[in-house]
Chains A and B, each alone.
Chain A
Amino acid sequence: MIRQKIGKKKPHRNRLKSTIILNEYILEYYKALADAHRDGKLVASVSLGFPHEILYAFDIIPMYPQNYSAMYPTFGKTRETLNKVENKGWFSDICSHHKLGFGALLYDLQLKIGIPKPDIAISSTSPCKSMAKFGEDISKFLNIPYFLLDIPFAADSTFPSHHIQYVIDQYKDMIAFLEKVTGKTLNYKRFQEIEKLSVQALRLWREITDLSATVPTPMDAFDAQVHMLPLMSLRGTTTAVEYSKILRNELVDRVKKGIGAITAEKYRLLWEYMPIYSEMDFFSSFLAERGASVVTNTFFFPLLDKSASERHITWNLPFFRKAYCHKIMLRAQVKDFMGIYPNTSLRQRVQTIKNTLEKFSIDGILIHCNRTCRPQSLPQYEMKNIIETELGIPCLIIEGDSVDPRLFSKEQTVTRLEVFLERLRSRKVG
């Protein structure tokens, strides 16, 4: 009787043991942020797509309001916070991550784990132009210095030399800005060491991604988007390297034993761009129960794109060749941040997806049409047209928002997901 019950148990998710350690590291990071001012450190509000290693070299802690806002659906009152922020004049068309960011930084609408008021704001334009506006706005409201790193659009992976030069020149200007703000001179040797740690963590993540490509996948995208936090916020520290090793080892073990992120993997899916943080539990369990594993997510590409770059050669350069070393180091970093997925053309994104489909043996793509993120969602209908016609992979558009629960309809999504999975099933059978 008991056996029968076990035998009939629904397919489900396998929880990663590393999660416990991950939570400790994340809490430590937020504690360090909270204590930063007491410890004599500065805090920078930073946008995604920014090479934050330079900040650690100046003893500045990077704080990502966009990452913080992703925690609201789990730990906070998202609807109420969004309503309050909208009533302050930040209208509904604005990216909901940024609205929550304004809530946290301007109106003290924070979670139990708080974040401090930043001392400076820095943005990059590579993920979207809203990043630049958010940084400028909070710098004006909080009266703090602001620096914008303008990254030109990269149609493909070839960068005209004047584009690279434009970013390098700004990067140098930014070093001067940080030197002025901190009253310190950049210690290039330290910067080089931080770069080394950063590339180490990125390379470990390349291994982790390669392991995720295994059938069944040992870690799916729902896990990855949480387990990636140390790589996002702590890249350039020993913590990020340590944690990446722990996670890598667990995945190696899972692959050896044939343990998957879900128990009965039948379909392998790719999730296009930002997750729906407010419905993570729904999606992960609904899909797991039907044997569908979301094996990877294009949202990770901005970070992973970088691990194959020229940066690893920079920290092997002998330091006595200082000027040369600086030039190479900056150039390598700059090229990395120019070519990130959201900064590339639709054609290039499709090419990146195509490579992923092959590597991860993908059966179908879930395209999250994020209602308040125009750079993400506006090209997606065309993307779907191209992928279905040219690559022959079925796609499903899911309407929603990464943090605003008011813009997601579960009933509608359930129906559409069921039809989509049926389509995948008949393709496999056929």
Chain B
Amino acid sequence: MQDILFRFRQICENRYELPKQLKSESQKRVFGYFCTYFPAELVHAAGMLPLRIMGDKRKGSYTEAHMPSIGCSFIRTALDLGLSGTLDYLDGVIFSHTCDSMKVLSDIWHENFKDKFVDNILFPVKLDGHYSYQFLVKELKSFKNRLEEYLGISIEKDRLWESIEVYERNRELLKEVYFWNQENPGILRGSDILNMVISSMVIPKEEHNKLLQELISHLKQNKLPQRETQGLARVILAGNICAFPEIVDAIEDSNALVVNDDLCTGSRYFVDRSNHTPDIEKNGDPLAYIARKYLGKSPCPTKYVPGFSREQALLDMVKESKADGVVFLMLRSCDICFFDYPLLKKALDKEGYPSLFIEYEQQDESFGRVRTRVEAFVETIVGIVEGILT
């Protein structure tokens, strides 16, 4: 089992090198994308590898002349990867419009890579209503046409359904591991879990599915915790992107046990909002399926779903995961996420769940302060649990 977890970590550490190797070995074309609101199934069905660009841990010196420092470290280092030539092997880059910063990144990318395939898919901000669905189906159709024209191929309906099934399988397996982890904490580390999800956006899905199946069979055989869970606080990580999970190790090393998350490199990648997956109807339109699927995804803070309460969803997650508290893990300069925080905090306070707010940059290396704060937070939680504090 440790081999598989090590493999996930290796994939994450070499996330921009491995697809390059794959391309040179097998001539497989690689397309970059940035966000979970990206119908990677379409790229997969065209026989190519979709690679999620999640920024880097570099300082970002190439970016300085192109973007002010107030951009988040994800956006800035992603641009740096492009400008420095690290991603020159990519056959194209596709943006889905989510936050304002992403929209700007797309604009700057268009300016600096004029000879490359750079495209936009406009995802609606409002995720329900027949009009959002109709809009997205048409957006997907027109993107598919542009992609086909660029590649000089036709993406057949059957191939697309096959890709949808492979992706659906991946989501099911990821869910299974998450569920397993909630029930049997202490076997997998929080960083293992995130590495597992992140690596699914790097290597071919079929290969990832195999790794997940192996992992699950190992998990089923061995229920013994790898670490002592007594006295540890069960926490949920909530926030934006966490592409380099070393910080999660720092949190877990400080007497916390991550039992679930609401992160876009975590559960938001594969969980459906209403726990309802649309039916696969092979006679039907695969793009209609993809549209329904992505509109029904657990929503990113940039999205609005009338009637949906993020606060209630977080509380439900806390209760279902039997968590003791929430650690807000926020990449700095993410204005949109920060708009949610006061409401989420208020909802948690009201029900008596403690929470801790941590802001960080993707480049951060030392987490001494994070450790101290988490330790203090856990002491409070353990205090509450043991009835010492009220």
A positions within 8 Å CB-CB of B: 88-91, 93-95, 98, 125, 128-130, 132-134, 136-137, 140-141, 148, 150, 152-153, 155, 160, 162-163, 165-166, 169-170, 173, 345-347, 369, 371-372, 374-375, 377-382, 385-386
CB-defined contacts of B142 to chain A, threshold 8 Å: 160, 162
Query: Which residues of chain B in 89-141 are interfacial with respect to chain A, using CB atoms and an 8 Å cutoff?
Result: 97, 99-101, 103-105, 107-108, 110-111, 120, 122, 124-126, 129-132, 134-135, 138-139
Partner of B111, one of A93, A134, A346: A346
A371→B70 CA distance, assembly (Å): 7
Partner of A130, one of B97, B332, B335: B335
CB-defined contacts of A347 to chain B, threshold 8 Å: 107, 110-111
Which 3 pairs show the lowest CB-CB distances between chains A and B?
A133-B339, A169-B131, A346-B107
Q: Is the CB of B126 within 8 A of A170?
A: yes
Partner of A165, one of B66, B120, B134: B134
Measured CB to CB, the nearest residue on chain B to A386 is B111
> Can you offer 26 A-B residue contacts whose CB atoms are under 8 A?
A93-B333, A93-B334, A94-B338, A134-B339, A136-B339, A148-B125, A148-B126, A150-B126, A150-B132, A152-B124, A153-B97, A153-B103, A160-B142, A162-B135, A165-B134, A166-B124, A169-B134, A345-B107, A345-B110, A346-B107, A346-B111, A369-B68, A372-B335, A375-B101, A378-B67, A381-B67
**B341 proximal to A (CB < 8 A):** yes
Interface size on B, residues (CB 8 A): 49
Min distance, Cβ B277 to any Cβ of chain A, angstroms: 25
Q: Is the CB of B345 within 8 A of A89?
A: yes
CB-defined contacts of B301 to chain A, threshold 8 Å: 133
Min distance, Cβ B220 to any Cβ of chain A, angstroms: 42
Min distance, Cβ B343 to any Cβ of chain A, angstroms: 6
Partner of A90, one of B97, B333, B338: B338
Q: Is the CB of A95 within 8 A of B335?
A: yes
Q: Is the CB of A93 within 8 A of B332?
A: yes
CB-defined contacts of A150 to chain B, threshold 8 Å: 124-126, 132, 304
CB-defined contacts of B67 to chain A, threshold 8 Å: 378, 381-382
Q: Is the CB of B342 within 8 A of A173?
A: no
**B187 proximal to A (CB < 8 A):** no
**B213 proximal to A (CB < 8 A):** no
B positions within 8 Å CB-CB of A: 65-68, 70-71, 75, 97, 99-101, 103-105, 107-108, 110-111, 120, 122, 124-126, 129-132, 134-135, 138-139, 142, 301-302, 304, 306, 332-336, 338-343, 345, 359
CB-defined contacts of B110 to chain A, threshold 8 Å: 345-347
- Further pairs besides A93-B338, A130-B339: 19, Cβ < 8 Å: A91-B341, A93-B333, A94-B339, A133-B340, A148-B126, A152-B135, A153-B120, A162-B134, A163-B122, A166-B134, A166-B135, A169-B130, A170-B126, A347-B110, A371-B70, A372-B335, A375-B100, A382-B107, A385-B66
Of listed B104, B110, B332, B335, residue having the most chain A CB within 10 A: B335
A193→B110 CA distance, assembly (Å): 43
Measured CB to CB, the nearest residue on chain A to B122 is A152
Partner of A374, one of B104, B111, B135: B104
Q: Is the CB of A379 within 8 A of B341?
A: no
Q: Is the CB of B125 within 8 A of A129?
A: yes
With A162-B138, A170-B131, A345-B110 as contacts: A129 and B100 at CB distance below 8 Å: yes
A374→B71 CA distance, assembly (Å): 7
With A153-B103, A345-B110 as contacts: A137 and B126 at CB distance below 8 Å: no
A372→B339 CA distance, assembly (Å): 13
CB-defined contacts of A165 to chain B, threshold 8 Å: 131, 134-135
A116→B129 CA distance, assembly (Å): 31
Of listed B65, B100, B122, B139, residue having the most chain A CB within 10 A: B100
A98→B335 CA distance, assembly (Å): 11
A378→B333 CA distance, assembly (Å): 12
Partner of B125, one of A125, A162, A346, A379: A125
CB-defined contacts of B131 to chain A, threshold 8 Å: 165-166, 169-170, 173
CB-defined contacts of A369 to chain B, threshold 8 Å: 68
Of listed A125, A378, A379, residue having the most chain B CB within 10 A: A378
A264→B325 CA distance, assembly (Å): 65
CB-defined contacts of B100 to chain A, threshold 8 Å: 128-130, 374-375, 378
A36→B120 CA distance, assembly (Å): 44
CB-defined contacts of B341 to chain A, threshold 8 Å: 89, 91
A172→B335 CA distance, assembly (Å): 31
CB-defined contacts of B345 to chain A, threshold 8 Å: 89
CB-defined contacts of B75 to chain A, threshold 8 Å: 378
CB-defined contacts of A130 to chain B, threshold 8 Å: 100, 335-336, 339
Measured CB to CB, the nearest residue on chain A to B139 is A162
With A129-B302, A162-B139, A346-B108 as contacts: A380 and B68 at CB distance below 8 Å: yes
Of listed A98, A129, A137, A166, residue having the most chain B CB within 10 A: A129
With A162-B135, A381-B65 as contacts: A129 and B336 at CB distance below 8 Å: yes
CB-defined contacts of A90 to chain B, threshold 8 Å: 338-339, 342
CB-defined contacts of B97 to chain A, threshold 8 Å: 153
Min distance, Cβ A1 to any Cβ of chain B, angstroms: 52
A386→B135 CA distance, assembly (Å): 33
Partner of A378, one of B71, B124, B302, B340: B71
Min distance, Cβ A401 to any Cβ of chain B, angstroms: 10
Min distance, Cβ A134 to any Cβ of chain B, angstroms: 7
Q: Is the CB of B70 within 8 A of A129?
A: no
Measured CB to CB, the nearest residue on chain A to B359 is A91
A120→B110 CA distance, assembly (Å): 39
